[in-house]
Amino acid sequence: MQHTIENLTLKLNQQINFIYDGINIPLSPMQLATNLIGIMRLDSKTPAPVPFTNHWTEQDAVLITYGDSLEKKDGHNVLEPPLQTLNQFLQGPVREAFNSVHILPFYPYSSDDGFSVINYTAVNESLGDWSDINNIADKFRLMADLVINHCSSRSVWFDQFIKDEPPGNKFFKTGDAQADYSEVTRPRASPLLRETQTKIGQKLVWCTFSHDQVDFDFCNPDVLCEFVKIIRKYLDEGVKIFRLDAVAFLWKTNGTSCVNLPQTHEIIRLLRTLIEHACPDAVIITETNIPNQENLSYFGNANEAHSVYNFSLPPLLVNTLICGNSRHLRQWLMSMPPCQDGTAYFNFIASHDGIGLRPAEGLLSEPEINTLISTMMNFGGRISMRTLADGSLRPYEINIALFDALQGTTSGPDKFGLDRFICAHAVMLSLEGIPAIYIHSLLGTRNDYQRLENTQHNRHINRHRWDYDALNKELNKETSTHSAVFKRITDLLRIRRQQKAFHPNATQFTLQLSDELVGVWRQSIDRKQSIFCIHNITDQIVSLSFHELNLIEGVAWRDLISGDQLNQTKSTLTLAPYQSLWLSNL
């Protein structure tokens, strides 16, 4: 085992040398490597991780939620810590459908609903405490955010920066008023640099996202060490999945785009090295809301992120369903490389943010994106902007509840909203990768215009807070849309987790069907099960001949969703508007 630690030290030394090449750091790379091993409490008994191991199965599905998406209330008073309310919800029917939960930032924060962290090692007391997090982690695989690019301007570290006190005085990236930052990629419309008066004079602090979110300077290895301490803390509290928030912007070098730089990739590889030695079944997921090919680069050579957010799926799938044409989605599916063992796509349609438009660049034309935007605005959505190099603004994301986004087509609202919404999830659940469902999709939550008006923050349109008793009444009401959505999605998830052909790494082949259909063929790793997943993405009845599917004759094919046996005496299949079929040979 001593040999393992020696190999680990040498590997870390090599990674540190790459990251800090040309930078004068106080410790030698070998000393820094030894310190990191000590922080993670690795020793001669630490086993070496087995490469190319899949840490997931077809039974994996992630529920995405805020810690306070559900509240027990008496008027304006919250009656119990929301994390305890969430735990009660998770122990109900949800448990039959999900084995993992992503609790969005549950730390003390000053803005951005948690993503402007004041204290990384505490639980926001308005949500609960670490024991509440532990109780959830005991029953579910817990995913937590490592908000690694920036922290709150109200943090102790930034206060130290202002007072020129260690360690925070050297933790933050500063800029130069004379430098040219026109090439810097911006996800927001606010100015990049924030004027901040400190004890030693005025500083221009780098703020990629907002002036309350001040960017770290990872050129200082002390910042890296602090985050390794945070990772160790999260592992101790039961976190098994680390979501690296906004990690693409981590390393900044003047004269570059300051996104996707080589040092950023190497830091992710270093963090993975440490995490998988400390906890072999823990995984890293990178959140990089950028064009598709750039996003895929975060897999590295199966040595970087275990999983990447499949950011192109939401805009492409929503566009497919409102246009009734699968051509762009089909072409994209055909272009996506199958994941190596040890890596998997993280599939989602809706999130706490919105429908990102950068991941649609190069996949949808500008007129098509404009049509998507105008349709979503007709359904009550809002548009958030980003600043381009020339100072102009461009749409960055669509902010809308997914249920509202799919209440019609480019022709306007119609009667197929519920079926279209369920079809979207059936498509997503059939694809290669690990599925994740936002709590407000699971509950069929609508646009929250009141919260949007109260906060004037576009993203709050899709961040509703449910009164738990009111929600339970809706879920127990047979005529409730919320109940119908919840039942149909959880039914799909229960079916899915029993099918080996839906393993995240099972073979996927895109079927060449008409533009009115989306079809993929999945085959289990042991090649025993095949599932033909066929979805009518239009508001019309669509027929499909058996010959187009090339089904093996003599096999009893059954639709897993309806339970019906396929009648092979007929020559065609008929799909109702937005109907999905999962045809299995088992």
For every residue of 35-102, which 3-state class applies, written as one string?
A: HHHHHCCCCCCCCCCCCCCCCCCCCCCEEEECCCCEECEECCEECCCHHHHHHHHHCCHHHHCCCEEE
Beta partners for residue 395, in sequence order: 385
Put simply, whether the predicted model's pTM sits higher than 0.85 gets the answer yes
Q: How far apart are CA 571 and CA 388, in angstroms?
A: 54
Q: Which residues contact 112 (CB under 8 A, 6 or more apart)?
A: 209, 210, 212, 213
For helices 417-430 and 313-323, angle between their N-to-C axes, nearest 10 degrees = 140
Q: Residue 418: which of 436, 400, 402 has the closest Cα?
A: 402
For 507-584, CATH gives: 2.60.40.1180
Q: How many CA atoms lie within 13 A of 202 on its CB side?
A: 6
Query: What 3-state DSSP class applies to 583?
Result: strand
Active-site residue among 245, 353, 419, 539?
245
Which superfamily is assigned to 84-102+310-498 in CATH?
A: Glycosidases (3.20.20.80)
Nearest 10 degrees: CA dihedral of 164, 169, 175, 178? 30
Burial of 105 from C-beta contacts in 10 A (0-12 / 13-18 / 19+): buried
84-102+310-498 and 507-584: same fold? no
Q: Which residues contact 188 (CB under 8 A, 6 or more apart)?
A: 208, 209, 210, 386, 387, 396
Q: Any idea what the Cα angle at residue 504 is, between residues 498 and 507, rounded to 5°?
A: 100
pLDDT in the model for residue 2: 52
Q: How far apart are CA 322 and CA 427, in angstroms?
A: 14
Q: How far apart are CA 354 and CA 524, in angstroms?
A: 33
pLDDT in the model for residue 73: 86
Residue ranges per structural domain of the chain: 84-102+310-498, 507-584
353 catalytically annotated: no
Start-to-end Cα distance in the chain: 45
Mean pLDDT, consecutive 10-residue segments, the chain of 586 residues? 80 97 95 97 87 96 98 86 97 95 98 96 98 98 98 98 97 94 89 96 96 98 98 98 97 94 98 96 94 94 96 97 98 96 97 93 95 97 87 91 98 97 98 98 97 94 96 95 98 98 98 97 97 98 87 85 86 93 94
pLDDT in the model for residue 114: 95
DSSP 134-185: HHHHHHSEEEEEEE-SEEETTSHHHHHHHHT-TTGGGSB-B--TTS--TT--
Q: How far apart are CA 166 and CA 169, in angstroms?
A: 5
Chain-centroid distance, C-alpha 115: 14
Specify whether the CB–CB gap between 218 and 268 falls below 8 A: no
Q: Any idea what the Cα angle at residue 515 is, between residues 513 and 517, rounded to 5°?
A: 60
pLDDT in the model for residue 1: 45
